[in-house]
Every structure is written in structure tokens, then in C-alpha cells.
Amino acid sequence: MTTLIDAIIYSSLLSMMGFGLTMVRRTTGVWNVAQAGLVSIGAYCIFSGVNFLGGAPYIYLPLAFVVGAAVNALLFWFFVNPLRKRGSSFFILLVATIAFNIVLTGIINIYADFLQNVFSFSSKNFLMTQLDLHFLGESAIFFVSLVSLILLTVILFLFLNYTRVGLALRGSIEDPTLSKVMGVQINWIYLLSWAIAGGTAGFAGGLLPMRFQCNPGIGGSLIAVMFSVSILGGVGEIYGPFLGGWLVGFAQIYGINLLARAFGPWVLSYKQLLPMLILVLALLFTPEGLSGFDWTGKLRALITEEGEAR
Amino acid sequence: MQQLALFVTDFIALLGIYLIITFSLRLQLGYAGIANFGLVLAFTGGAYTVGWLPIRLGMWFFGINSGLSSDMIWNNTIIISRINPHLQSKPFMAIVIFILTLIVAGLVGALLGFLSGYPAARLRGDYLAIALLALGEVLAIIGGNFSPLVGGALGVQVPDVWNWVGDFRFLTVSLLIFFFSLAVWGYMRFLEKSPMSRTLRAIRDNRDAASSLGKPVTSIRLKTLVTGGVLCSISGALYAFYTTGVTAGAYGMFDWTFLPWVMAIFGGVHSNLGVLLGTFLFVLVRKLITFYKYSLGFLPFSPVWLQYLLTGGVVLTVLLIKPSGLITEKPSYTISKEKLKQIASRVLNGS
């Protein structure tokens, strides 16, 4: 049961993190490695809020969202957008996000050192399960992570389908040139997408310490998993990471247990390799992701082949 | 004075190590347009080869008690303490172990380049970069968990194949590494004028056009990844020989992938001189921060993190101001400029 709950929490958080990656890749064509730093920032927002101001950790989730959104918007506005306007290649943009992530890593570590040396907080390694609330005999993080993911999906659906800005965002994704012609302020729309992506990463990072051990490098240690989620889910579909997150999360938690049963407990040490393996397999066999895969077409082809064979 | 000598020696060694990696990136990214974010993979492979092979070669060559081989990791220190005196008195054997290990490290690098490149070379642009980025940490995870390889998280000591030099051991190894890097530079200069460099650039600039002209694009990209892997692996092996120790945790993404990228992008990845300049400046700044770390002890945080701010900040600034780096790509001439002038004057004079 604990394994199932862990898998659900982990998958929900991964889905939110992967969503941020997919969102900016889909809108601006950039793989944002700084997503790693944003997750760590979210975790430290919650840690700082609780240690300085007290109260339940969950009340600081909006702060994690706002800080994540602001930092990612900053990255887009001052670095990514000017480079995009100049027509920089994908690797220059990727390097820019890596460089920004390096800066974030430095800042987060300096901040963690500062909290430890000046305020004597154990900020280099922390877990906040003891501060979690309980509901129906289960930790609140289980419900919060799941409800947050469902809410995010519903809000996103309503936003993209029933608001002017959401429709403009969809239009900008589908056809940026036509959107410009129709008077959409495309740069503001892109900025918004980066802010939403950063906010979601910060929010997911803020939930991490409620179940998992956190340190300044927590985001960095999850970046390969986030890429797996995003690519497996498919960058062509904005809801893809929700599928990818659950597949990767369950595969990582249940898959490794199954492998351990088959090959022995030594396999458990290599848990981190699983998302990389999934990523490589996904890239090789379905680079467009599961949501971008032509399931009906393949099924139709299969049925037709069988019919012809008869 | 002694501290300055140590600083210079270590600087030369690190410069050489990083130059080999950045030239490998120059080959892959600068010429072929392959954004290899997995440089650390082959580097780690080379270092692991040094952590595994020389100790076994030493035991075999010098007939060290085979009973100790029942647990090479537990007995690592004892075995090293028995091999090192032999190496001190038999320089020829020490050099043989060094060369054999470098050859195997090169082969390991080629294999890793092939294994990571075989599926990846078929991918385009950013998907390839992401695949290589994810694969980069694979060996670090394996090495950290599978202790028979290089002792897991605790690591292993490596036989000191240069201890016969005596007091000048570190200087000798530093200079040797530096000469290796100069040899790689020589190779890059040779490549610059060769038809292969033009083929690589054609693939980089327009893969479809190069393919339509009969160039085996995937195969050439794969060969480039393999060559890059060999260079990175040799660099990792030289680094492990220099430090005489291998620990799985020492080969992180920041130091051995992102930093070389920063150096190359800063100097200009499309120019040999640019790569040389970028690497020189960054290694110098990095060494200075490490050197003066204790003078900054009053700070309420570890000064090591300043390196991160500086590195990331410099790259972002360079990308915004001069994305092509300090030195930009220049057309390469198949024959020297003097010869070109001679031909031009002959044509103009009508002779």
C-alpha cells in the first residue's frame, strides 16, 4: 500500500514537472534545463517559509509557484527571447538554459549554506514529513499532490479552451505567424507560458520535501526523469506529460521492484538508471511520444493486414 | 614559492585535461554540429579503466600474491603499496602499464562513443542532445553502486606509474598531459585543412544536402562521436593517472560536461584558437578561486559556489553579446595562403 501511495505521489509530482518542460518546448521550441533549479527553488521556498514564519508547509505553496514563475519568466525575457529573436540555434538556447541553471545551482547552494551557517538550520538535507497533516489516516501530501494534478489539468483545459488568452496561447503554438497577423502579442503569450511552466515546477518542488529527502541538488537529480516524462508523454500534446509522468513514476517504483524480484535485490541500487533507459527507448521507438503516436492508424493498419491475410 | 610551483603544476595539468575534452567538443559540435552533452560518459570510462586495469597489470607483471586478488577493493591499499616500489625501480614496466592502459582507455572511449552514438546519431538536433545528456550519468551511477568496478562511493587508489621520476613527479605528469593536449591540437589543425573537415561542416550546415551528395551522414556522425569518445576517455585516464585515485562521485556533469561546454562556447567552438583561449581563461579562473578559497573564509557560504555564478553569468553574457564566442569561424584553406598568392599572381600575370 505504501508503495502504491509513493508511486501516486511521485507520479503526480513528475507529471507537474514534466508539464513545465513540455509547455516551453511546445511554445518556444526550447528544452529548459533550468527546470531543475526551479524545482529546488520550490523546495527551498517551503523550507524557508516553515522555518522563518511557521505554520503548515502547504500555505507556502503559492509562494513556491510565484517564485518559480518569476524566475522562469526572467530567464525567458532577458535571455531566451533575445536569443530566439536573433535566430539562435537550438543548442545555443539549450546552453543558455544550462548556464542559467548553473547560476541557480550556485544561488541555491549559497542560500542553503547561508541558512545553515547563520541560522543553524539543517538546510543541506531536509525532509518535512513530520510537519505533514493527516487526513483519513493518510498523509495529506497524497491528497494534495493528486488533487493538485487534477486541478492543474482541469484549469489548464478550461484556460486553453475557454479564455481569450488561452486560445491565443493555443493559436501561438499551432501557428505563430498567423497569430501575429491576428494581433496576438506573441511575446507576452510566450512569457506567460514560461511563467506557468516555472510556477508549476516551483509548486511541484514545494511538495517534494513532504515525502522525499531534499537538498540543493534535488532538481538536478530529477532532470533526466523530467525529460523522460516529457518525451515519453510527447511534446506534441500539452497533456502528454500527465500520461508520461504516471508511466515513468510507476515504472520507476513498481518496475524496479519487479526487476528486483526477477534478478535479485541488487537491482534496487540501479533505480536511477530506469528513467534513462525509458528515455532512450522512447527516443528510439516513439520520439513523438505516446500521445503523438498514431494509435488509431496503427490499429487500423493491423486490422486491414489481418483482413487481407484472411 | 612552493605554493606558486604547485599552482603552476596543477594549472598545466588541468589545462591539458580540459583542452583534450574541449577539442573533442570542437570536433563534435564545432565541425559536425553534434551537441554532445554526454562528454562525461567517455571521460568517466577512461578514469574507470585506470581504476581497474593498471592494478591488475601490476599484479601480473610483478607477480604480486594472487591471494590478494580475492577482494581487489578491500585489499586495494595493500596491493598498491606492493606494486608502487616495483614501479619505482622498473620505469620501463611502469611506462608499459601506462601505455597499455591508455590504449585500453581509448578503446573503452570508442566503445562508449559507439554505444551512446549508435541510437543517438539517428536522432536530430535537440533530441540527440537530450539523449546524450541523460546517458552522461549512466557510468557514474553504475560505478557508484557496483563496487567491484572502482570501489563504489569510496573509490580506489591507482598505481603511481610516474613515481620513478621522484620529486619531479607532478611536474612530469603535468607536462606529459600538456604535450598530449598539444598533440590533439596538432590533430585539429591537420583536420582543419583536410577534406574531412569540409565534409563535417557540410553535414553540420545541411544534413540533407550532404546526404543527397552521397555522404554517409549517419556513419560519419557516428565516427565523429567515436573519435570524440576516444579523446574524452584518454583525458579521463590521464586525469586519473595524475590524481592516482578514482572515485565514482568525482566525475560529475558540471565539471566534465557543462564546464567544457562553457569554455568552448566562450572562446568560440568553431575555432581552434577560440577553444584554446576559452579553456585557458576558465581553467585559470577556476584555479584562482580554488587557490584563494581559504582567503574568502569570512563568507557565510562556501566560495566554491562563486564559481557557479561566475561560470553561468559569463556564458549568459557571452551568448547575449557575442554568441559565436570570442573568436569566430574562418574559412579554411586547403593550401597555404602563400601558395594561394603565388597561384593568384601566376594567373594574373598570365603565365
Provide the CA B178 distance to its chain's centre, in angstroms.
Answer: 12
Angstrom CA distances, A255 to A245, A274, A296, stand at: 14, 8, 27
pLDDT at residue B125, rounded to an integer:
66
Which residues of A fall within a CB distance of 8 Å from B315?
95-96, 99, 102
**H/E segment holding residue B135:** helix B125-135
Q: How far is B302 from chain A (nearest CA, A)?
A: 7
pLDDT at residue A288, rounded to an integer:
64
Q: 3-class DSSP state for residue B324?
A: coil
Q: Is the pLDDT of residue A167 over 80?
A: yes
Q: How many CB atoms lie within 10 A of CB A294?
A: 10
* Helix A186-207 and helix A35-53, axial crossing angle in degrees, nearest 10: 60
Q: How many CB atoms lie within 10 A of CB A138?
A: 12
Q: How far apart are the first and last CA of chain B?
A: 64
Q: Which residue of B has its CA nearest to A223?
A: B134
Mutate to test the interface with B, among A102, A228, A281, A284 (most CBs of B within 10 A): A102
Residues of chain B under the 70 pLDDT cut: 119-122, 124-125, 351
Q: Is the pLDDT of residue A217 over 70?
A: yes
pLDDT at residue A144, rounded to an integer:
92
pLDDT at residue A306, rounded to an integer:
67
Q: Is the pLDDT of residue A229 over 90?
A: no
pLDDT at residue A115, rounded to an integer:
95
Which residues of B fall within a CB distance of 8 Å from A103?
308-309, 312-313, 316
Q: How far is B297 from chain A (nearest CA, A)?
A: 12
Q: How far is A106 from chain B (nearest CA, A)?
A: 5
Half-sphere exposure of A22 (CA within 13 A, CB side): 30
CB nearest to B315's CB, from A99, A118, A231: A99
pLDDT at residue B284, rounded to an integer:
92
Q: What DSSP assignment string belongs to B144-199?
A: HH-HHHH-TTT-EE---TTGGGGGGHHHHHHHHHHHHHHHHHHHHHHHHHSHHHHH
Q: How far is A252 from chain B (nearest CA, A)?
A: 15
A86 touches chain B (CB under 8 A): yes
Which residues of A fall within a CB distance of 8 Å from B311?
99, 102
Mean pLDDT of A148-156: 89
Whether residues A224 and B137 touch (CB distance < 8 A) is answered with yes
Whether residues A99 and B319 touch (CB distance < 8 A) is answered with yes
Q: Using CA atoms, how far apart are residues B123 and B130, in angstroms rounded to an integer? A: 10
Q: CB of B17 within 8 A of CB of B232?
A: no
Q: What percent of chain A has pLDDT over 90?
A: 41
| Residue B310 backbone phi and psi in degrees, to 5 | -65, -50
pLDDT at residue A290, rounded to an integer:
66
pLDDT band, very low/low/confident/very high, at A119 (cuts 50, 70, 90): very high
Q: Is the pLDDT of residue A156 over 90?
A: no
A98 touches chain B (CB under 8 A): yes
pLDDT band, very low/low/confident/very high, at A298 (cuts 50, 70, 90): low
Which residues of A fall within a CB distance of 8 Å from B127?
231, 283, 287
Whether residues B308 and A102 touch (CB distance < 8 A) is answered with yes
Grid coordinates in use for A290?
505516446
Indicate the pTM of the whole model: 0.84
CB nearest to A94's CB, from B35, B135, B306: B35
B119 touches chain A (CB under 8 A): yes
Please report the residues numbered 137 through 196 in chain B whose beta carbons come closer than 8 angstroms to any beta carbon of chain A. 137-138, 141-142, 145-146
Q: How far is B278 from chain A (nearest CA, A)?
A: 15
Which residues of A fall within a CB distance of 8 Å from B129?
31, 90-91, 94
pLDDT band, very low/low/confident/very high, at A181 (cuts 50, 70, 90): confident
Please report the residues numbered 18 through 37 in chain B whose beta carbons come closer than 8 angstroms to any beta carbon of chain A. 29, 35, 37
| B160 vs A277: which has the higher pLDDT | B160
Among the residues of B1-38, which ranges form H helices?
Answer: 2-25
Whether residues B319 and A83 touch (CB distance < 8 A) is answered with yes
Q: Which residue of A has its CA nearest to B260?
A: A95
Q: Is the pLDDT of residue A294 over 70?
A: no
The torsion region of residue B252 among left (phi > 0), alpha (psi -120 to 50) and beta comes to beta
